[in-house]
Structure 1
Amino acid sequence: MCRLLIYKGTRPIKLSHLLTRPAHSIINQAFDSRLRVDLRRPINGDGFGVGWYDSVYDEELGSQPCIFTSVTPAWNNENLTRLAEKIKSPLIFGHVRATTAGSLSLDNCHPWKHGKLMWMHNGGIAEFQKIKRKLQARLPDDIFAVVQGNTDSEWSFALFLSLLPDANARQFSPTVLRETMFATIAALNELARDAGITEPSLMNFCVTDGESVVATRYISSKHDEAASLYFSSGTSFQEYAPGGHYKMSKLDKRENIILIASEPLTFEKADWMEIKTNTMIVITPKMNLLQIPIVDEFYVPPSDPASLHRTSAFAAQKGFFAPRPSPPLTRADTPEKTP
């Protein structure tokens, strides 16, 4: 499975504290096959991307995000290691890729940007080739020209842009981003329904304008779990023991840091909460975290016993389901052999 990571904080953090230093960073998740359930493609070696916003606004630089992508494996890219030690940002998107749609190229590496907006996706649009031309027909010429690659993820971003009141706006409210995300999912479901597609689509979409963040854990099914997604919040995220052992500290009720990830970055179970299937996460500019159910034909209310019996088999088969990682065994945990 591809893996994604979002950091939003009241203070900037070095990229290395998210991407390279933690023992269970998304780069190590991509490299260490012992942590994976995706047996079809055991290593995320099909490129990576990281996007971030400047800590302080500079008129000459503008407010758009900066994105660094590469088709080389993330764990073997010395440029990423060097940059991660020298760049700090209050809002970061990270993504490592295992190709499921689209060729191996820089154009197909997440995240993508348009103006102030940045987008990434973990999942897959079922039988996308059957709906691709009809999706393209919905786009105005200027948005159609934005797409450079050939992934379902980037075309979904173009659809999102086309549904915004103004894709080139200098400011987007959390409400606008939230409602446009709802509309994007609804439009993709409509296209699939009209094409007679019955296989579920996995739509863990993430978008930000540098101030607000909207992320979804979604599948177009009433019976299956979506691709995995977790969040963690607290006052600081720091290394507490040598060897890249990080944890989220919660010194008070404030949420100075919010992390969203396909798979937890730490081995501390108390640090992470699983986002429920078919739920939208909204992080406001003031660091309020909202969990909003995506109520459509695939929504199962918590009061319905069926909500407790969704199965992860489909997402796992596709390689998009990651359970909480178990701490690595230490010498003390290893049973002694009897002579």
Structure 2
Amino acid sequence: MCRFLIFKGRDPILLAHLLTRPEHSIINQSYDSRLRIDTRRPINGDGFGVGYYTQEADPELGDAPCVFCATTPAWNNMNLARLAEKTKSSLVFAHVRASTAGILSENNCHPFTYHSLMFMHNGQIANFGRIKRKFVAHIKDAYFLFIQGGTDSEWAFALFLDCLDKLGTNPADAGPNGFGHEILRTAMLKTIEYIKDWSKQCAVGDLDKDEPSLLNFAVTDGHTVVVTRYITSRTEEAASLHFSTGSRFIEYKPGQYKMERRDRRQDVILVASEPLTFERSDWVTVPTNTVVTINNQTVLLHPIIDEYYQKDPSISRKSDFAASRGLVSPIVEPQAVTNVQLPPLEREGRRRLSLTA
């Protein structure tokens, strides 16, 4: 199934350092499937997309991101390689697709955009065919008419926009500093709540035997990034998700990259379905059913506390379901990371990470 990558930095980075040059870049992940268990769909060749924000505020350009996508396999698109060698940005979303819903078309390629907002998804919505009517009945016409493709992911984005609207925020007007991390996180959690409840209502047979939803969502307004690692199950792991922070993401020899850490800075933050480097110390595994927020180059982890939350950190989850969908990568043990903050009231029950503040 799909893979995605997020970069947020104090300074812009050449897209090639994320997309094409690393030996295990997200483009190479689309065909080099050594970490993939799903043999039904061994490659992510159903299109790709990259979205990024321009560096200088320009009224003529507006605040919307630039998005380039195509239905060709990412490894076989010369225009993408040329673009990556000549483009820099401090906030980048990239996605390679192995389709589960929706035909092969550019309208179904991630990331999706709405004014300044950009959204992508790794996973699947359980019972999507049966709950689609719930989406139609719930969301406002403006967001229903916004949908151009047929993926469950784009419908989830439309629902997210509707949640923002119903929280009293106009999704078309982020303002000069964006919406703020709290409102984006709240809208994301409401989106998950609706999908979870509708899937239950439309489930057939025993809920425990019904396929769970895998909801690794990512959204940004050009300032703040909110990402989830979530599954509607108490026993299964969600699709894999990792993050890395440091002072620089550097190429120390051709094709080989590592995260450099000096003075415990977080000038560079990467979030990825699959690590871009093979350095174990570079990456931290995001716990299942967690929302990750990147705000002012600070990473915040919040547990998603609902009926699928496991308060006891000693309980291990199975990875069978996510593995069968090709949505796991090797477990990266938690490492020391600076400036990762947990809100005081939500630390109880949080799976322990080896973090230093």
TM-score when scaled to structure 1?
0.93
Question: Which residue of structure 1 lines up, in the alignment, with residue 267 of structure 2?
Answer: 256
Question: Which residue of structure 2 lines up, in the alignment, with residue 135 of structure 1?
Answer: 135
The 5 Å alignment of 1:11-160 reads: 11-160=11-160
Q: How many Å separate the matches in 1 of 2:276 and 2:288?
A: 20
The 5 Å alignment of 1:251-330 reads: 251-284=262-295, 286-301=296-311, 303-306=312-315, 309-323=316-330
Secondary structure of residue in 1 paired with 2:34: helix
Q: How many Å separate the matches in 1 of 2:278 and 2:313?
A: 32
CA contact (8 A) 1:264 1:324 kept: no
Query: Does 1:237 pair with 2:249?
Result: yes
Query: Does 1:168 pair with 2:172?
Result: yes
Deviation at 1:324, TM superposition (A): 5.1
Q: How many Å separate the matches in 2 of 1:125 and 1:119?
A: 15
| Aligned counterpart in structure 1 of residue 238 of structure 2, from 226, 238, 246 | 226
Question: Which residue of structure 1 lines up, in the alignment, with residue 191 of structure 2?
Answer: 184
CA contact (8 A) 2:36 2:328 kept: no
Secondary structure of residue in 2 paired with 1:183: helix
Question: Which residue of structure 2 lines up, in the alignment, with residue 195 of structure 1?
Answer: 202
**Cα shift readout 1:280-339 (whole Å, capped 9, x = no counterpart):** 00001x2111000001111111x3532xx20000101122112259xxxxxxxxxxxxxx
CA contact (8 A) 2:38 2:323 kept: yes
Secondary structure of residue in 1 paired with 2:22: coil
- The one-letter code matched in structure 1 to 2:85 is E
Deviation at 1:176, TM superposition (A): 0.4
RMSD: 1.1
Secondary structure of residue in 2 paired with 1:79: helix
Q: How many Å separate the matches in 2 of 1:311 and 1:259?
A: 26
Q: How many Å separate the matches in 2 of 1:316 and 1:105?
A: 26
Question: Which residue of structure 2 lines up, in the alignment, with residue 332 of structure 1?
Answer: none
5+ residue gaps, structure 2, are 333-357
- The one-letter code matched in structure 2 to 1:191 is W
TM-score when scaled to structure 2?
0.88
Alignment length, in residue pairs?
A: 320
CA contact (8 A) 1:232 1:259 kept: yes
